[in-house]
Structure 1
Amino acid sequence: MEQTLISVIVPLYHGEKYISKIVPQIETAKKVAGNLTDIELIFINDYPDGKIAEDFAGHEVEIKLFNLKENRGIHGARVEGLGRSRGEYVLFLDQDDKILPEYFSCQLYKIGKCDAVVCKLIHENKQFYDMRMPFESVINKDYMFSVRNSIISPGQVLIRKDAISEVWKNATLSNNGADDWLLWICMMAEGKRFALNNEILFEHVVEGNNASINTNYMINSEREVFEIVSENGLLSKDELNCLSITVKNVVDEHIKALCKFQKMFFLYNEWMKLQEQDIYISDYLKQLEYNDIAIYADSYIGKRLYHNLKKDGLNISFFIDMNAKYLREDIPIYTLDEELPEVDIIIISLVEEENSIMERLSYKTEAKVLSITELIRQMKARIR
């Protein structure tokens, strides 16, 4: 029986260190997929000043590496890799992503007669799809056009090569960040069918070189998506109007997120300034005889607070989070709808909507409830 060839395309940018991490993942996934699946792994080095020379002899998958003479951005690098690929199926991976061993076997089984298959993923130590974004409700044309890009990374998607839109291949974005959204919009507008795979087969890891964390790039890239879709007549007038509103709303969301991150930055700054004076949250809580602690929100700050207090020997009994069933931690996680165990204090680790959360908690517990912002303020007041 003829083997199914999958082309895995990985753009690199300052990414030589990731090669040794990606290759074993692909080889393991190939072994699990069995003899009926063959893999070619294509690295596209999009950093012309850092030419990579690697010897890939002896590996269990065919590996190719191409050094580009000029920087083309992640979209251009993906298109370059696609042009050099031979596979019936294509997987676009970011250099810092991770796939599970069952990725190829499970995705090939689920794709059926569809043009692409989307799996679930882990992002920031939790399932990305939750109560606010149910998987079955958001991977579709209407959501893509009227709300936002609901596929967080192209690594979730195994695609039939012949289903990839010519518009996407020929209209390369000059701004990094939203080329995957453009691809899904093009494919869905052209009537391509997406199968859903409820298995978690992929982990999206965001590090410093990832364009999705650069707000300016993302805003410009999303606006460029609209221009390309409009110029190529992919959508009806009503659909185009809808997409125009969506792009504006997504840009507004980026700006709101910047405001939130600004608040987080100032909070972290005050926290670190206290530590520079040998003033620690753990000591303050011990002085107040708060021995059993819970943290509201398994957030960026919540995680840092948890590990900080745990390192200093305090007992963190549980997290409270609306998406408890989607999260992964080494202590229990409850929702506000559940009965909460008794603790001495609950610290709200969010920098927005603290008052409404505090009010809800007041109906659920006799424990002291304090926001991280107020906690830092009280500690600062003690040293004045």
Structure 2
Amino acid sequence: MDVSIIIPIYKGNGYIESLLSKIDKNYQLCQKKIEVIFVNDYPQEKMIINSQHEYDIKIINNEVNQGIHQTRVNGLNKATGKYILFLDQDDEIADHCLKSQLAHIGNADVCIANGIMESENGKCLIYKNKRSQNYLKKQIGFIKVRDLIVSPGHCLIKRTSIPDYWKNHIMSVNSADDYFLWLLMIENKCQFNVNYDVLYTHKYTGENVSGSLDQVHNSNMEMVDLLKKYCHNVNVDLLKRTITYKYDMKKQGKLVPSIKNIDLFLYNTIYQLLWKGM
């Protein structure tokens, strides 16, 4: 099997046919062996698939609601593909997403494509330019700036590169499980590659967990506690300070947190000028 597409579903029957329609087009273009694994995390509602498809579809029903991290891992445990694509139920991928990602991943552990980010204010590119996207390969920005990947949906991941620690230490607060994954891959010295093609759309529904500031922060703090028990290469103390600094700025305004963290303020200013803004 070449690619396993893992899709957690939560009250998401209305998204299934649209997802499968996009996957159908990807399958026809890439001509690789793929499987789609739906993991239903809302056991009160039976998943409904009305159409026939040329690839394998597996359905996993969680007995109780288990949250996004455990749900993704449940799908991963049933996956047989060399590569993994984690999609959310409201994600949208281009018709040539798999073909392009498979062509660009090479020997890397993960390939990060560009995409469109929707918000209540409109749409924009996830990465403004090639310079901004190439910065991902430095990896330090994940520690001194923020999670620089919007969603696993614009990443193709080598299945054997996904750390066992991520699969065995499940986060209880939804949000940061993907950030947790990238940091563990950095800890394990995995190689990040980039694909400039715009292949993904992060849809704005008004229901995204990432829109809840306090929940994101609580999830990030849970992630930090888990990383402390594992990491030797990633500076977890610096990561915690970055996360707290960004949270405090949104809660208190920029001045006081920036004065207290002048090194992070200067680094983030340079990041905006050199890598994001040019």
| Partner residue in 2 for 1:153 | 151
1:147 Cα offset (Å): 1.0
1:30 Cα offset (Å): 1.0
Q: Counterpart of 2:150 in 1: which secondary structure?
A: coil
Residues 83 and 254 (structure 1 numbering): CA distance in 2 closer, same or farther, change over 3 Å?
farther
After TM superposition, the score normalised by the length of structure 1 is: 0.62
Counterpart amino acid of residue 30 in structure 2: A
Does the alignment pair 1:91 with 2:85? yes
Does the alignment pair 1:211 with 2:209? yes
Residues 50 and 231 (structure 1 numbering): CA distance in 2 closer, same or farther, change over 3 Å?
same
Q: Deviations over 1:251-274 (max 9, x none)?
A: 2244369xxxxxxxxxxxxxxxxx
Q: Deviations over 1:26-62 (max 9, x none)?
A: 110111112xx11101111111222324455x31221
Residues 138 and 117 (structure 1 numbering): CA distance in 2 closer, same or farther, change over 3 Å?
closer
Instruction: Work out the CA distance in 2 between the residues paired with 1:177 and 1:143.
Output: 19
1:139 Cα offset (Å): 4.5
Q: Deviations over 1:172-224 (max 9, x none)?
A: 11000111100000001101101111111111113244211122221110111
Specify which structure has the bigger relative contact order, considering alpha-carbon pairs within 8 angstroms and separated by 6 or more residues: 2
| Partner residue in 2 for 1:22 | 19
Does the alignment pair 1:39 with 2:34? yes
1:233 Cα offset (Å): 3.1
1:145 Cα offset (Å): 1.1
Instruction: Work out the CA distance in 1 between the residues paired with 2:232 and 2:204.
Output: 31
The equivalent position to 1:163 in structure 2, one of 161, 164, 167, is 161
| Partner residue in 2 for 1:242 | 238
Number of equivalences: 249
Contact 1:141 1:188 in 2 (8 A): yes
Indicate the larger mover: 155-164 or 216-225: 216-225
Counterpart amino acid of residue 13 in structure 1: Y
Contact 1:190 1:234 in 2 (8 A): no
Residues 173 and 114 (structure 1 numbering): CA distance in 2 closer, same or farther, change over 3 Å?
same
Instruction: Work out the CA distance in 2 between the residues paired with 1:109 and 1:52.
Output: 33
Q: Counterpart of 1:122 in 2: which secondary structure?
A: strand
| Partner residue in 1 for 2:73 | 79
Q: Counterpart of 1:43 in 2: which secondary structure?
A: strand
Q: Counterpart of 1:192 in 2: which secondary structure?
A: coil
Counterpart amino acid of residue 231 in structure 1: K
Contact 1:139 1:150 in 2 (8 A): no
Contact 1:13 1:209 in 2 (8 A): no
Contact 1:5 1:89 in 2 (8 A): yes
Residues 99 and 256 (structure 1 numbering): CA distance in 2 closer, same or farther, change over 3 Å?
farther
Counterpart amino acid of residue 35 in structure 2: E
Instruction: Work out the CA distance in 1 between the residues paired with 2:249 and 2:180.
Output: 19
Instruction: Work out the CA distance in 2 between the residues paired with 1:109 and 1:246.
Output: 35
Indicate the larger mover: 116-125 or 245-254: 245-254
Counterpart amino acid of residue 119 in structure 1: A
1:361-380 matches, cutoff 5 A: none
The equivalent position to 1:230 in structure 2, one of 216, 228, 231, is 228
1:243-322 matches, cutoff 5 A: 243-255=239-251
Does the alignment pair 1:62 with 2:59? no
1:241 Cα offset (Å): 2.1
| Partner residue in 1 for 2:141 | 143
- Root-mean-square deviation over aligned CA pairs: 1.9
Instruction: Work out the CA distance in 1 between the residues paired with 2:209 and 2:132.
Output: 25
Counterpart amino acid of residue 154 in structure 2: Q
Indicate the larger mover: 198-207 or 75-84: 198-207
Contact 1:121 1:202 in 2 (8 A): yes
Structure 2 gap segments, 5+ residues each = 254-275
Residues 256 and 188 (structure 1 numbering): CA distance in 2 closer, same or farther, change over 3 Å?
same
| Partner residue in 2 for 1:199 | 197
Structure 1 gap segments, 5+ residues each = 258-325, 327-384
Q: Counterpart of 2:246 in 1: which secondary structure?
A: helix
Instruction: Report the structure number with the largest CA radius of gyration.
Output: 1
Residues 119 and 210 (structure 1 numbering): CA distance in 2 closer, same or farther, change over 3 Å?
same
Instruction: Work out the CA distance in 2 between the residues paired with 1:126 and 1:177.
Output: 22
